[in-house]
């Protein structure tokens, strides 16, 4: 059976179960058939029972590029009815283990599709339309493309793969035959945008080719415009590292043994790094100078830069909501940022946030350390990767580290990390946004509870 539609398999499997046909007596290819068997051994089922978790697992297995997937699924569903209704909980069972492996591979492939599809703009009868070609490992078009309908639903688009294609017309998502890559020949200005973006995030100091290929497999490169520059970036890495080593280092000159007010006044005059030349002002921390909990964000946003206060823009509203849910008053804590100046790119009508470089973070670190030394918080919670890097001294993933306490730090008794409110605002779906909002509130509450230990 080669049809990827799980519903077709489900109907046919039910018929076989009702007849009592054992897995060993079936043969799945273009159509399921069963071999002759002793009818006295048949165990017909008028109403086969299948747990909901099987269907959740099976919809992914059905999309695996594996010729044995249909027989595997039938074997599991047969065993659920004749052998063990809790079979799916036995993770070491060979059939269950194989099904979970296939499902995991399919889910990973869908994630890669979401990350690596590159749309190109074309004009179709005067309508701005976007098209993309992607080589998937599995048969994931129907499962993977609804994400793009939710994320980019305001424009018509089509995604082509060798197996199938998906088409969104602003109302309906439909599916059709796929096309080989050589039939998809289209380039546009977005190709150069992707190259520029990739150059900006490529860090030669962290180049690990094996890890890079594991995350962005070369099998996807042919449809990704930025892949055209990867070899040049790798080849030029030694020279870029040398240039980085020779580049001037920035470090703020922080006065010692002064009051918080004098510390803030000195920070307002800081010109230690190039960010100060473009930002409106230094945005220093604020709050309770005797606080047991300190919250550290990444850097000021547009509204913070104009107002001179931390977390007063859209991200500030998200933080305020999390503090309220955690039953923590803003007046009881101290809030600051790892970087004190707003880094941005100017567009026609607005200033767009940019991530601070390591040298810029390093330049601001003395101010942050001076704030910590003055407040002496028992617990610090860093929001976002930049803040986490500043206090942990290493790069880490928020989703992997949140909820964990790091103790015996020279900065505070306990360190925590959580989502930055801006990351919540940029979440890919409403569900993810709500989940991160709740996690931020939980993490703040956990950090506050840690101050009482």
3-class SS string, 10-55 = HHHHHHHHHHCCCHHHEECCCCCEECCCCHHHCCCCCCCCCCHHHH
pLDDT digits (tens, 9 = 90+) for 137-180: 999 999 999 999 988 888 899 999 999 999 999 999 999 999 88
Classify the phi-psi angles of 419: left when phi > 0, otherwise alpha if psi is within -120 to 50, otherwise beta.
beta
Domain membership of residue 254 (yes or no) is no
**Is 161 in a helix, a strand, or coil?**
coil
- Local structure of residue 108 (DSSP, 8 states): H
Whether 94 and 200 map to the same domain: the answer is no
Q: How far apart are CA 342 and CA 402, in angstroms?
A: 26
Quote the pLDDT of residue 263.
Answer: 93
Domain membership of residue 1 (yes or no) is no
Q: Which of 70, 81, 52, 85 is nearest to 11 (CA)?
A: 70
Whether 275 and 414 map to the same domain: the answer is yes
Quote the pLDDT of residue 311.
Answer: 95
Q: How far apart are CA 6 and CA 8, in angstroms?
A: 5
Whether 37 and 59 map to the same domain: the answer is yes
Domain membership of residue 251 (yes or no) is no
The helix (run of H) or strand (run of E) holding residue 121 is strand 120-124
Whether 87 and 35 map to the same domain: the answer is yes
Q: How far apart are CA 362 and CA 352, in angstroms?
A: 22
Instruction: Read off the pTM.
Output: 0.49
Domain membership of residue 410 (yes or no) is yes
Comparing 22-26, 235-239, 388-392, the range with the smallest average pLDDT is 235-239
What is the secondary structure of 334-403 as a DSSP string? EEEESS-S--EEE-SS-EEE-PPPHHHHHHHHHHHHHHHHHH--SEEEEESHHHHHHHHSS---HHHHTT
Domain total for the chain? Answer: 4
Whether 283 and 428 map to the same domain: the answer is yes
pLDDT digits (tens, 9 = 90+) for 327-377: 999 999 999 999 999 999 888 778 888 888 888 888 888 999 999 999 999
pLDDT band at 408 (very low <50, low <70, confident <90, very high): low
- In sequence order, the 6+-apart residues with CB closer than 8 A to the CB of 1 are 8, 9, 12, 28, 29, 30, 31, 32, 70
Q: Number of C-alpha atoms within 13 angstroms, CB side, residue 143?
A: 25
More confident residue, 381 or 248: 381
Per 3-state DSSP, the chain is made up of helix, strand and coil in percentages (nearest 5) of 50, 15, 40
pLDDT band at 240 (very low <50, low <70, confident <90, very high): low
Which residues constitute the domain of residue 132? Answer: 117-183
Asked whether the predicted pLDDT for residue 54 surpasses 60, the reply is yes
Quote the pLDDT of residue 348.
Answer: 75
Whether 38 and 131 map to the same domain: the answer is no
Quote the pLDDT of residue 432.
Answer: 92
Q: How far apart are CA 405 and CA 417, in angstroms?
A: 8
- In sequence order, the 6+-apart residues with CB closer than 8 A to the CB of 282 are 267, 268, 269, 270, 276, 340, 341
Whether 344 and 404 map to the same domain: the answer is yes
Whether 438 and 290 map to the same domain: the answer is yes
Domain boundary among 137, 166, 183: 183
CATH value at residue 281 = 3.40.470.10
Find the farthest-apart pair of alpha carbons in the chain and give their distance in angstroms, rounded. Answer: 93
Average pLDDT over all residues of the chain: 85
Sign of CA dihedral 311, 313, 319, 321: positive
Domain membership of residue 77 (yes or no) is yes
Whether 234 and 171 map to the same domain: the answer is no
The token duo for 283 is 């945005």
Q: How far apart are CA 437 and CA 251, in angstroms?
A: 35
Domain membership of residue 66 (yes or no) is yes
Whether 204 and 94 map to the same domain: the answer is no
Quote the pLDDT of residue 31.
Answer: 47
Judge contact between 323 and 331, C-beta under 8 A. Answer: no
Domain membership of residue 252 (yes or no) is no
pLDDT digits (tens, 9 = 90+) for 65-104: 998 999 999 999 999 988 898 999 999 999 999 999 999 9
pLDDT digits (tens, 9 = 90+) for 204-220: 656 677 776 777 677 77
What is the secondary structure of 175-222 as a DSSP string? EEE---GGG-----HHHHHHHHHHHHH--GGG--HHHHHHHS-GGGGG
Domain boundary among 112, 130, 154: 112
Whether 352 and 285 map to the same domain: the answer is yes
pLDDT digits (tens, 9 = 90+) for 365-399: 899 999 999 999 999 999 999 999 888 888 788 98
Domain membership of residue 255 (yes or no) is no
Domain boundary among 82, 112, 142: 112
Whether 206 and 329 map to the same domain: the answer is no
Using CA atoms of 389, 390, 392, 398 in order, give the dihedral in degrees to the nearest 10.
-40
């Amino acid at each position: 059976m080669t049809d990827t539609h799980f519903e077709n398999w489900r109907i046919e499997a039910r018929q076989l179960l009702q007849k009592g046909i054992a897995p060993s007596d079936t043969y799945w290819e273009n159509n399921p058939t069963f071999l002759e068997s002793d009818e006295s051994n048949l165990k017909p089922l008028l109403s086969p029972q299948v747990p909901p978790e099987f269907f959740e697992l099976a919809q992914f297995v059905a999309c695996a590029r594996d010729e044995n997937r249909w027989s595997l699924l039938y074997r599991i569903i047969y065993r659920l009815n004749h052998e063990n209704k809790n079979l799916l909980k036995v993770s070491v069972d060979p059939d269950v283990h194989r099904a979970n492996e296939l499902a995991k591979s399919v889910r990973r492939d869908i994630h890669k599709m979401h990350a690596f599809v590159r749309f190109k703009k074309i004009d179709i009868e005067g309508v701005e339309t976007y098209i993309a070609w992607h080589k998937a490992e599995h048969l994931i078009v129907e499962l993977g493309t609804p994400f793009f309908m939710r994320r980019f639903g305001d424009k018509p688009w089509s995604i082509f793969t060798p197996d199938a294609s998906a088409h969104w017309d602003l109302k309906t998502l439909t599916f059709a035959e796929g096309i080989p890559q050589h039939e998809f020949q289209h380039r546009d200005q977005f190709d150069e945008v992707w190259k520029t973006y990739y150059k900006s995030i490529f860090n030669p100091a962290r180049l690990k080719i094996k890890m890079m290929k594991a995350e962005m497999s070369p099998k996807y490169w042919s449809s990704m415009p930025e892949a055209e520059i990867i070899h040049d970036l790798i080849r030029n890495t030694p020279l870029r590292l040398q240039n980085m080593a020779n580049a001037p280092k920035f470090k703020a000159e922080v006065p010692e043994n002064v009051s918080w007010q004098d510390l803030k006044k000195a920070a307002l005059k800081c010109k230690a790094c190039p960010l100060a030349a473009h930002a409106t002002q230094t945005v220093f921390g604020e709050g309770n100078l005797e606080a047991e909990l300190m919250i550290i964000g990444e850097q000021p946003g547009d509204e913070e830069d104009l107002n001179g206060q931390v977390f007063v823009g859209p991200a500030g509203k998200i933080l305020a909501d999390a503090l309220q849910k955690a039953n923590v008053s803003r007046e009881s804590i101290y809030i600051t940022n790892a970087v004190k100046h707003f880094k941005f790119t100017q567009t026609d009508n607005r200033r767009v946030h940019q991530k601070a470089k390591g040298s810029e973070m390093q330049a601001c670190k003395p101010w942050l350390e001076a704030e910590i030394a003055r407040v002496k918080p028992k617990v610090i919670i860093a929001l976002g990767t930049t803040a986490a890097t500043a206090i942990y001294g290493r790069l880490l993933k928020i989703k992997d580290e949140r909820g964990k306490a790091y103790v015996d730090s020279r900065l505070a008794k306990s360190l925590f990390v959580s989502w930055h409110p801006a990351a919540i605002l940029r979440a890919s779906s409403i569900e993810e946004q709500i989940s991160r909002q709740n996690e931020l509130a939980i993490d703040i509450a956990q950090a506050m509870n840690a101050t009482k230990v």
